[in-house]
Amino acid sequence: MRLSIVVPCYNEEPVLQETTVRLSAVLDSLVEKRKISSDSFILYINDGSRDMTWTIIESLHDRNSYVKGLNLAGNVGHQNALMAGLMTAKGYADVLISIDADLQDDVSVIEEMVDRYKEGYDIVYGVRSSRDSDTFFKKNTALAFYKLMSWLGVKSVYNHADYRLMSRRAVEQLGNYKERNLFLRGIVPLIGYETTSVYYRRSERFAGESKYPLSKMFNFAIDGITSFSVKPLRLIASLGFLFLLCSLVAVVYTLYVYFNGETVAGWASLMLSVWFLGSLILIAIGIVGEYIGKIYLEVKERPRYNIEKFLN
């Protein structure tokens, strides 16, 4: 059984050395236990880094027989880079594990993932059993996001990011999901093969900085929602109906006041409703725009990534 560990890297020069040491040690021990074959490999995907990441990958490839490298032409983002890696590695491996470069995900559960695969599972999710290393803010926004997603009817595994094992046939299936706007942890559960989870403690980044600052995180969440659910569009219509009812009440009240000859004090309430409804309308247009933007991006069918070089 040939295993491939797929690692997207964007400006990861401070961690790659250590990541390679740890991943190689795991591969060594699995090879020794005869759980995987010795031609298993680590595939680093350089996602258009602006530091020395690719040079480091090249030198790691020269020195370490496990290391292969894929250089993308430009930065396409974590999800697309991961897809590039999976689509490339599946030609050479029976089982693929995706993991971040920064060692936040505990590599020692790789063995457990492989064991689960051997028991017959096609997909094994790495799930964080705790979020100790996250800030209060991140913990709660993440929780709200998962809650929102499940309310919207999107199946996704709680506290699972992109650390997972997939069999080759599962990755083949993944390749059939053609959307440009990738949200892998939403797509993978749709594949439908037998799945299970292994648990680990997520630690701090080994070195370097998070490539997901708040603004990117927010965009990622919006993408995740709008790529998987049209419920927000329906919500707008419901909101419209609700306000129609309210305005009917307001009309009746206004007419009543008018015919009784009382003056409408009105200015404050007018201002409030103009502002309130105005912002609601803007939000509604924004939501619709979000989907139209998505349609626009999808119909172009641009490639998700371009490969510059493959060090095999």
Site for Mg ion, rule CB under 5 A: 100, 102, 104
Binding window for ligand UDP (CB under 6 A); candidates: 95-103, 147-155, 190-198, 254-262: 95-103
| Residue 210 found at the interface with ligand UDP (CB under 6 A) | yes
> Least separation, in Å, of the C-beta of 43 and ligand UDP?
12
> Least separation, in Å, of the C-beta of 105 and ligand UDP?
9
> Least separation, in Å, of the C-beta of 202 and ligand UDP?
9
Paired tokens of 186: 């939403």
Give the span between the Cα atoms of 306 and 85, in whole angstroms.
Answer: 11
| Residue 181 found at the interface with ligand UDP (CB under 6 A) | no
| Residue 81 found at the interface with ligand UDP (CB under 6 A) | yes
Give the span between the Cα atoms of 116 and 198, in whole angstroms.
Answer: 9
| Residue 100 found at the interface with ligand UDP (CB under 6 A) | yes
Closer by beta carbon to Mg ion, 100 or else 223:
100
Convert residues 35-54 into a mask of x (bound to ligand UDP by CB under 6 A) and - (unbound): ------------x-------
Binding window for ligand UDP (CB under 6 A); candidates: 6-14, 129-137, 189-197, 230-238: 6-14
Indicate which single residue of 20, 71, 98, 104 sits in contact with ligand UDP (rule: CB under 6 A).
104
List the strands of the sheet with 123-130, edge to edge. 195-201, 123-130, 160-167, 95-98, 3-9, 41-46, 67-72, 307-311
Closer by beta carbon to Mg ion, 214 or else 297:
214
Tally of CB atoms within 10 A around 192: 11
Convert residues 212-231 into a mask of x (bound to ligand UDP by CB under 6 A) and - (unbound): x-------------------
Closer by beta carbon to ligand UDP, 79 or else 195:
79
**Tokens 């790495």 -> residue:** 126
The DSSP-derived string for 40-58 is: -EEEEEE-S-SSSHHHHHH
Indicate which single residue of 211, 225, 226, 232 sits in contact with ligand UDP (rule: CB under 6 A).
211
Indicate which single residue of 8, 69, 85, 232 sits in contact with ligand UDP (rule: CB under 6 A).
8
User: Alpha carbon of 241 to those of 172, 215, 235, 271, 285: distances in Å?
Assistant: 44, 32, 10, 21, 16
| Residue 185 found at the interface with ligand UDP (CB under 6 A) | no
**Tokens 């680590």 -> residue:** 42
Closer by beta carbon to ligand UDP, 222 or else 272:
222
| Residue 122 found at the interface with ligand UDP (CB under 6 A) | no
Give the span between the Cα atoms of 208 and 244, in whole angstroms.
Answer: 52
User: Is residue 298 within 8 Å of 179, Cβ to Cβ?
Assistant: yes
| Residue 10 found at the interface with ligand UDP (CB under 6 A) | yes
Closer by beta carbon to ligand UDP, 9 or else 187:
9
User: Alpha carbon of 282 to those of 200, 237, 246, 276, 291: distances in Å?
Assistant: 43, 14, 19, 10, 14
User: Alpha carbon of 148 to those of 44, 179, 291: distances in Å?
Assistant: 33, 22, 18
Backbone angles phi and psi of 230, in degrees to 5: -100, 10
Closer by beta carbon to Mg ion, 30 or else 42:
42
Side chain identity, residue 260: N
**Under the rule (CB under 6 A), what is the footprint of ligand UDP?**
8-10, 12, 47, 75, 77-78, 81, 100-102, 104, 210-212
